[in-house]
Amino acid sequence: MAAVLKPEDFDKTYKITQKEFNIFKNEFLYWADIYGLKGWEFIFKCENDPENRASILRELESRIVIVSIANEWVGLPPDEFNLKRVAYHECCELLLSKLVDLCLDRSITEKQVVEEVHNLIRIFENYHFDRNYRGKKIK
């Protein structure tokens, strides 16, 4: 669990180490595998980004995703919990990115949106539901 932050913590700057970068990268890849995001090539970077702790940049045609972690974090210590949570957040952004694209495209059909919603539901079912109920009796 994350540490409780004090007001003075928000003035601190934390440089991301190679170890922290690896924790972030491995956690992102863990969730990408769980959620079946296998049709992408992932490129990981640690770079200057004063706006975000991490981000993804997708190239749809080439199926390349650049997954970046900021080389400095302000206010939030890059402990294992926070690194993994941020990696999970970025993986979810990729998972939901097609739905976002569809919602921003004014020429989409209702069928396309419903199809993508059900794609996401199946992904969640295959991981969360099966993981929690496989082999158990359901009342």
Q: Where are the domains of the chain?
A: 7-96
Retrieve residue 67's tokens.
Answer: 């997954």
With 80 as the cut, is the pLDDT of residue 117 above it?
yes
pLDDT tens-digit map of 63-92: 999 999 999 999 889 999 999 999 999 999
CA dist list (Å): 18 to 7, 29, 52, 64: 27, 16, 18, 23
Pairing mode of beta strands 64-70, 41-47: parallel
Alpha-helix residue ranges (DSSP H) falling in the chain: 18-34, 80-104, 110-124, 130-133
Give the per-residue pLDDT at 87.
Answer: 95
The predicted model scores a pTM of 0.79
Residues of the chain above pLDDT 90, percent? 54
List the 64-70 sheet strands across, edge first.
Answer: 41-47, 64-70, 54-59
With 70 as the cut, is the pLDDT of residue 1 above it?
no
CATH class of the domain whose range is 7-96: alpha beta
| Cβ atoms within 10 Å of 30's Cβ, excluding its own | 14
With 70 as the cut, is the pLDDT of residue 57 above it?
yes
Retrieve residue 48's tokens.
Answer: 């200057």
How would residue 10 be classed by pLDDT, with cut points 50, 70 and 90?
confident
Name residue 14's amino acid: Y
